[in-house]
Structure 1
Amino acid sequence: MAEQPMSRNLHESSSISPPLTRQTMRFLTAAMIGLSLLVLSGLTLTETMIGLIIATPLMVLFSPVLVPAVITIGVLTAGFLFSADKVDYAKMKISEKAKELGHYAQSQTHQTTSN
């Protein structure tokens, strides 16, 4: 008895169960992606909760230091932001005075050369 070709064995074994249709493959792919996203979101939620559980006692312990530090940083930031307006205003005033002085010097030079 001669050996049957390999392709015939594969064909016979696939004829036992019906082949998957394209629509079935799409559904299985979508289901696997959905399941993966569900597991990933569950892991993310779990990690967040564990992080909060660990961080809460640390925040309570260090709050006497952290609260004044945050207030100080906020006040310093606000001071820099408000002082920036004053610096811009001073720059504008200085540039205006410099232009006026330049025009004055130019007019004086023309008067001197005219005489």
Structure 2
Amino acid sequence: MADQQQQPYYQHQHEPHQTTKNISGSQIMTIITLFPLGGLLLLISGIILTGTIIGLAVATPLFVIFSPVLVPAVLALGLAVTGFLTSGAFGITALSSLAWLVKYFRQGQGYDAAEMAKQRAQGMAGYVGHRARDVGHKTQDVAGRA
């Protein structure tokens, strides 16, 4: 019993079946091909990063010198693009509204709505005319008393 307690734990575990994975020839060829390719791409990305940093270091003083010209130019360009986009959005909205209106009237549902709108307009015109006559009569009455 004392011997079992002194022995390390890992000696008591036995794996019933140990598998070893063999690497095939195609996998070796893949590694041989991709390892240099990955290294080459890493080297190219490092060269591009270095060139970008050097270019930014050279261009920064030019941006500072020409900023009084560049900032208004970028602002004007941004406003122009915003104007064109807004104009296009309003145009598309107007066209879609008109298309919906034409579709609505062509389906026959719009004729009833158009008649109701026409009757409301006529009723409102009659009401406004009646009120105008009343105001005119009251004005005449007040002017006649004076």
Give the greater-gyration-radius structure (CA).
2
Q: Which residue of 2 aligns with 1:78?
A: 125
CA distance in 2, matches of 1:32, 1:96: 63
Number of aligned residue pairs: 88
Structure 1 ranges of 4+ moved more than 6 A:
none
TM-aligned CA deviation for residue 75 of structure 1 = 1.8
Q: 1:55 to 1:89 in 2, by over 3 A?
A: closer
Instruction: Provide the TM-score with structure 1 as the length reference.
Output: 0.58
Find the counterpart in structure 1 of residue 88 from structure 2: 42
Q: 1:96 deviation in Å?
A: 7.6
2:115 aligns with: 68
- Matched residue type, 2:119: T
Aligned pairs for 1:1-115 (under 5 A) are: 15-17=57-59, 18-20=61-63, 21=66, 22-60=68-106, 61-92=108-139
Structure 1 runs not aligned, ≥5 long? 1-11, 100-115
Whole-Å Cα distance in 1 between the matches of residues 142 and 75 of structure 2?
68
Structure with the largest fraction of helix: 1
Deviations 1:58-80 (A, max 9, x none): 12322321232122112211211
Unaligned 5+ runs, structure 2:
1-53
State the percentage of identical aligned residues.
9
- Whole-angstrom distance in 2 between the partners of 1:25 and 1:54: 43
Indicate the RMSD between aligned Cα atoms, in angstroms: 2.8
Higher normalized contact order (CA 8 Å, seq sep 6+, divided by chain length) = 2
Q: Which amino acid aligns with 1:78?
A: A
